[in-house]
Amino acid sequence: MKKTLIASAIAAVAFSGTAMAQESNLPTVYGNIQYALSHTNTEGGGSSLDHYDNGSTLGVTHDHEIAPGVTGFFKLELDGFNADDKSYGRGQARLDEAYIGVKGDSFGQIWVGSDDSMYERSIDKIANFYEAGNLSIGNGDTGVYSTGEGDLIQYESPSFGGFTLGAAVQVNGDGTAGGKSYPYQLAAAFAVDNLELAFAMDSNDGSTPYSGTTNTDPNNENTYGLRATYKLDDLSITGQYQTRKEVADVFGLMGVYSMGANQFALSYEMAVADDANDTERNTVTLQALHNLSDHMYVYFEGYLGGGDDGVYGVTNESEKSVAVVGAVYYF
């Protein structure tokens, strides 16, 4: 899963180091190691214990002034190091993000490469918030949106009184499995005071499924998503809704409360499949996170999944739970 806290920390490090990087023309290097220990229990299907790397990364960013008011930038991030197992996959780190682009106050920014898609950043906040995300509904796992994160050309406008527009197209050439295609996404967001609203769609026209999932694309029906986030001092509340014909409707509600070095989150997610039985799956998630320092934090996450019989692979059963403790060191 994507790590919201780590992403924010990396952005802060990159921002604080911008002046130095520009003076020396050196890139900003960042990274993290993430360990997690999880216990999973499926009613009627047994339990398991696992210790694993939860997405350790190493990356580099750089930007420079092309002309007054115009900045060029790039980012390269690798993951898949399997920091929990020295014998596994030596030297086989895989690409997570890689892109180049230009930005300016007058025209916004345009970038090309592999990155979180416009739809994902705009709408799918809850699944991307949690550290482990073992039972989170979204992030492409339900097939509610399927355009991947590679071969993207993305654009985001500057803010016009709090209103921004975004667009993305995935360029799949003749060499792509399934043939040539150009799935696209559109997004609009409005932020005023403590309220943020976002609407987005995904055409789902490509043959490549969402990054990181084994699901095949069920159809090319459009996905539509709506999100609202309200922030009040240390409390943030997010509600989101996604729908795709002949696939599913996905609902989510999350509250996040910060108290000093601590962060607490609680969410409820539900997916109703567009099938003959309107099959339902739901998840309640709790997070408690503590920042030990400016570079290290620990957390606990608990997931309780329910729904209709068989949704977790066991006939006549419909309950699954996951408990995760983890630690992250980042720079």
| Distance (Å) of CA 199 to CA 36, 89, 165, 208, 222 | 34, 40, 10, 23, 13
Tens digits of residue pLDDT in 24-57: 689 999 999 999 999 999 999 999 999 999 999 9
* Buried residues in 286-321 as b, exposed as e (16+ CB within 10 A): ebebebeeeeebebebbbebbbeeebbebeeebbbb
Residue 109 token pair: 């920014």
Q: Considering Cα of 38, then 267, then 127, then 1, what sign does the dihedral take?
A: negative
CA distance 280 to 325: 28
Shortest CA distance to 95 belongs to which of 111, 81, 83? 81
pLDDT along the chain (331 residues), means of 10: 54 50 77 97 95 94 96 94 75 85 96 96 95 87 85 96 97 83 96 97 83 63 97 97 95 97 98 94 98 98 96 93 98 96
Look-up of token digits 């003959």:
276
Query: Topology of 4-330 in CATH?
Result: Porin (2.40.160)
Shortest CA distance to 264 belongs to which of 235, 244, 232, 305? 235
Shortest CA distance to 144 belongs to which of 121, 166, 165, 119? 119
Tens digits of residue pLDDT in 307-316: 999 999 999 9
Shortest CA distance to 124 belongs to which of 279, 251, 236? 251
Phi and psi dihedrals of 319, rounded to 5?
A: -140, 135
**pTM beyond 0.85, yes or no:** yes
3-state secondary structure of 123: helix
Q: Considering Cα of 49, then 301, then 141, then 86, what sign does the dihedral take?
A: negative
Which 8-state DSSP code applies to residue 9? Answer: H
Say if residues 247 and 219 touch (Cβ distance below 8 Å). Answer: yes
